[in-house]
Structure 1
Amino acid sequence: MNAPVLQARGLQKSYGPTVALAGVDLTIHRGESVAVMGSSGSGKTTLLHVLAGIISPDAGEVTFSPSAAPPVSVTALNEGARSRLRRESFGFVFQQGLLIPELTAVENVALALMITGQPRDAATAQATTWLGALGLAGMEDRRIGQLSGGQAQRVAIARAQVTGAEVVFADEPTGALDSRTSGEVMDALLWATSQQGRTLVVVTHDPEVAARCSRTIHVRDGRLATQEVSS
């Protein structure tokens, strides 16, 4: 088993009287692909958002251990530092991709690098390489509306990985896709993350998607109910 890349201890989060996380302990190892499943309102998306530093828990701690730097307490960082961590070390793929429709595929991917200070030409070159690796060569100049749902999700995957993100968080990345396209997107997502030694945390309601991951965590009423390791 590889070293831990994310460790959560005693995570608690409530929204008014609703308890979303009720003392979650979780360790995710480098190179794992972890599926998080649970019914609506179980706390699975809140767990992903706390692990990724998008929201802060009411109590508990998340520690991120980069490959080439000392561990950092995500929960102890201020908002600016968490934003920088998300921008430089984490990648995100959501159900609708959250791509910018006015930009082309290559511009959407290159933007992730340009935000970190890379020049446009260098960012575009890296974005083009990633799009080609994910089967989108020749589609770089298409706007998002000119792509299929599966193609747009591969653009989102390229954007998530072009910065070298060590952990990619995906929230229902195949939820709007048919079963064949869903399989193709999972192929691309796993290739870009765990098959490169990086880590994937994916919230999904689809057992076929979860079965592709190395481990599945079931969340119920804000707690980890069961865990399964794929054979």
Structure 2
Amino acid sequence: MARISGRSTGRACGGEARIAGIDLTHRYGSTVALDAVAVSIRDGESVAIMGPSGSGKSTLLHVLAGIVRPDAGTVMLRTARGTVDIATMKDRERSALRLTEFGFVFQQGMLIPELTAAENVALPLLLNGARRTEAAHTAENLLDELGLHGISGRRIGQLSGGQAQRVAIARARATQARVIFADEPTGALDSRTASDVLGALLAATAERGCSLVVVTHDEDVAARCDRVLRLRDGRIDGDEAAR
């Protein structure tokens, strides 16, 4: 399998990368959101992306995840079928890739309120062609593993913020994704619930050797990750091991 050899700014990232962004540049009109950013993330590594508002944090996450196509640069992803450049894929190909290779946890969960907790978790499996009974069984097991036994039939509006985020984590795990992207996953939670949810997210990814990319403003969240990547004005301002 091809080896990803992207540059790592500030701190060398040993071993083979699961995903690497190389010379990523993106603009919104005259505003430069990313300015030749390079980052490499290994299997099993958790990386927090920090920086002031407008620094390019969410844009970097969206580019790495194939949600936004960069104006320049490449995003190399190592998959079971070989290494691919997400940036050059067609929209339909990137959508299919996100469904199988990536999981997502957002600040508000982005869950479907009309569906139950179990149905939300099962949805990506059904979209991937799984049988309904198989998807439902997997969803129940994932919810149980995250301490949500007995809430599978509840709709999202009937859950607490912490429970809803655990449902989102279960959904992100459902397809055996190799990279989990989390955008301010604890931003709407109180400190104790946030700590519990982050612990569940870190445990859920670490036990399967998944890569985790977290955008956050919270230094406590960043400190629990392996690395902290700091952005300022669309550029890497620091890449360091978390304390």
TM-score (norm 2): 0.93
Contact map agreement 1:22 1:222 (CA 8 A) in 2: yes
Deviation, structure 1 residue 119: 1.0
Deviation, structure 1 residue 230: 2.4
Cα distance in 1 for residues equivalent to 2:126 and 2:195: 31
Aligned with 1:91 (options 91, 98, 103): 103
Deviation, structure 1 residue 228: 1.7
User: What residue is the counterpart of 2:10 in the other structure?
Assistant: none
Cα distance in 2 for residues equivalent to 1:37 and 1:181: 21
Q: Where do residues 45-60 of structure 1 align in structure 2 (5 Å cutoff)?
A: 45-60=58-73
Alignment length (residue pairs): 230
Q: Is 1:17 paired with 2:25?
A: no
User: What residue is the counterpart of 1:179 in the other structure?
Assistant: 191
Deviation, structure 1 residue 3: 1.8
Dislocated runs of 4+, deviation >4 Å: none
Unaligned runs of 5+ in 1: none
Cα distance in 2 for residues equivalent to 1:112 and 1:158: 11
Which amino acid is the alignment partner of residue 215 of structure 2? Answer: V
Q: Is 1:165 paired with 2:198?
A: no
Aligned with 1:5 (options 18, 26, 36): 18
Q: Residue 188 of structure 2: SS of its match in structure 1? A: coil
Aligned with 1:104 (options 102, 113, 116): 116
User: What residue is the counterpart of 1:123 in the other structure?
Assistant: 135
User: What residue is the counterpart of 1:214 in the other structure?
Assistant: 226
Contact map agreement 1:90 1:169 (CA 8 A) in 2: yes
Deviation, structure 1 residue 44: 0.5
Which amino acid is the alignment partner of residue 208 of structure 1? Answer: D
Q: Residue 193 of structure 1: SS of its match in structure 2? A: helix
User: What residue is the counterpart of 1:42 in the other structure?
Assistant: 55
User: What residue is the counterpart of 2:164 in the other structure?
Assistant: 152
User: What residue is the counterpart of 2:92 in the other structure?
Assistant: 80
Contact map agreement 1:2 1:31 (CA 8 A) in 2: no
CA deviation profile, 1:34-88 (whole Å, cap 9, x unmatched): 000010000010000000000100000000012x221010011100000000001
Unaligned runs of 5+ in 2: 1-13
TM-score (norm 1): 0.98
CA deviation profile, 1:172-218 (whole Å, cap 9, x unmatched): 00000000000000011001112321110000000000001000000
CA deviation profile, 1:78-128 (whole Å, cap 9, x unmatched): 000000000011000000001011111000000110011111100000000
Aligned with 1:197 (options 186, 209, 214): 209
Contact map agreement 1:34 1:213 (CA 8 A) in 2: yes
Which amino acid is the alignment partner of residue 77 of structure 2? Answer: F
Identity %: 57
User: What residue is the counterpart of 1:225 in the other structure?
Assistant: 237
Q: Residue 24 of structure 2: SS of its match in structure 1? A: strand
Q: Residue 196 of structure 1: SS of its match in structure 2? A: coil
Cα distance in 2 for residues equivalent to 1:86 and 1:149: 25
Cα distance in 1 for residues equivalent to 2:77 and 2:203: 22
Which amino acid is the alignment partner of residue 190 of structure 1? Answer: L
